[in-house]
Structure 1
Amino acid sequence: MAEEMVVLLGEDGTPVGTERKDRVHGADTPLHLAFSCYGFDAEGRLLVTRRAASKRAFPGVWTNTCCGHPAPGEFMEAAVARRLDSELGIRAVGLVCALPTFRYRAESNGVVEHEICPVFLGWVAGEPEPDAEEVGEYGWVDWDAYVARAEREDSDLSPWSRLQVAQLQRWGLVERFLNG
């Protein structure tokens, strides 16, 4: 199996190279390209996932539907669809890039996430069949309940999801997507 590669970025967000994913995420993680996806079912419920306990970064933490990294030269929408399929066994429909320039840095157990991470909204079809190495649990929640969970001071959600929710709410992007 080929090593997963990620796209390294300069401070201005332009690609400056590639590196193996296992060499990028550490105590001094360089800025690199990633994505987050919020997948909704036909009833408008958000699919949330709990990261597997075996993950190096943020193990056991609840978060949005999925996250990942596009391969060098891969279209972002194709990377999102690939990850939804490989991690959860579901199909993405109607992906929309809601936050194209989202950027964050967070640390967990000595592993730093340092990413420019466009945020996608989309419809997902099918009941998840999670890859146990990636996802420990999943559930379906109403958007308003997820927002309330993200806004709690003692929130159990990933730091990136909490930041993304604040921005998505500020501009009413999820409501427009769901009603669109």
Structure 2
Amino acid sequence: MTTEEHVVLVDRAGHALGTAPKTSVHGQETPLHLAFSSYVFDREGRVLLTRRADHKITWPGVWTNSCCGHPLPGEPLENAVVRRLSYELGLEVERVDLVLPTFAYRAVMANGIVEHELCPVYRVIVDASARPNPDEVGEVAWMPWKEFADGVQNGLLAISPWCREQVPLLVELGADPLAWPPAPAAELPPAARP
């Protein structure tokens, strides 16, 4: 018997308030909860983009960054990144670095469903091809980082709302994504600190 996955609810300062079933927190009154975003790069500095599976509740069929997800209660965010990349993309991770420890966003779909996440962002380096899980990912594509970032910032690429907000912040870290400085774990929200 499998138990339903729970997410960590947080206040605006990032303190844990408790947990809730994942299926209950994505609706028109979505509470702020802990999540992560990750950007996977190969050794040439290309970023792995994914198109969300067409049956996803939030932003189905939309292109986005490599992988997003929620840590399980008590699970370190870095471990959640590795777990979800393995599950969604069949990737073995070489390196995971925190780059935007305090990113948060709220976005509303046309049908009224809301995403509301405290969502630290990670850079991940891999040396392997992705094997997408069709339950999660409809399609993948590798793109040079500059081409992708320019396309997002110029409005030429249709992309998820959280990715649209993250890319300018990532660009501020420098032109070479493999050289972005890692952020200290101490800057993570309290609910996400190891």
For residue 153 of structure 2, what is the aligned residue in structure 1? 151
Does the 8 Å CA contact 1:63/1:158 hold for their aligned counterparts?
A: yes
- 2:53 alignment counterpart: 52
CA shift digits 1:73-110 (9 cap, x unpaired): 00111000000000000012221100000010001232
What residue is the counterpart of 2:126 in the other structure?
A: 124
Q: Structure 1: 5+ residue runs without aligned partners?
A: none
The residue that corresponds to 1:63 in the other structure is 64
Aligned AA (1:65): S
1:43 aligned residue: 44
TM-score (norm 2): 0.88
Moved over 4 A (4+): none
In structure 2, distance between residues paired with 1:149 and 1:134: 24
Give the aligned partner of residue 2 of structure 1.
3
- Shift in Å, 1:176: 5.5
Cα pair distance change 1:120/1:175, threshold 3 Å: same
Segments of structure 2 that go 5 or more residues without pairing to the other structure are 182-194
The aligned counterpart of 1:34 is 35
Q: Measure, in 2, the Cα distance between the counterparts of 1:10 and 1:117.
A: 13
Query: 146-155 or 23-32, which moves further after superposition?
Result: 146-155
SS of 2:39's partner is strand
- Matching of residue 104 in structure 1 with residue 105 in structure 2: yes
Paired AA for residue 149 in structure 1? G
- How far residue 152 of structure 1 moved from its aligned partner, in angstroms, is 2.6
Query: Quick one: distance in 2 between partners of 1:147 and 1:12?
Result: 29
Q: Is the 8 A contact 2:38 2:121 kept in 1?
A: yes
**Greater share of residues in strand:** 1
Distance in 2 between the 1:11 and 1:89 partners?
33
Matched, 1:136 2:138: yes
Looking at structure 1, the residues matched to 90 and 117 of structure 2 have their Cα atoms a distance apart, in angstroms, of 25
Given that 2:106 and 2:115 are in contact with CA atoms closer than 8 Å, whether structure 1 keeps it comes out as yes
Query: Shift in Å at residue 49 of structure 1?
Result: 0.3
CA contact (8 A) 1:44 1:178 kept: no
Give the drift of 1:4.
1.1
Is contact 1:149–1:157 with CA below 8 Å preserved after alignment?
no
**For residue 59 of structure 1, what is the amino acid of its counterpart?**
P
Q: Judge conservation of contact 1:49–1:62 (CA < 8 Å) in 2.
A: yes
Please give the TM-score of this superposition, normalised by the length of structure 1: 0.94
- Return the alpha-carbon distance in structure 2 between the equivalents of residues 34 and 179 of structure 1: 21
Indicate the RMSD between aligned Cα atoms, in angstroms. 1.5
Structure 2 SS opposite 1:91: coil
Provide, for residues 148-167 of structure 1, a one-character-per-residue CA deviation record: whole Å limited to 9, x for no partner.
22113353111101110011
Partner residue, 1:21: 22
How many residues are treated as equivalent by the alignment?
A: 179
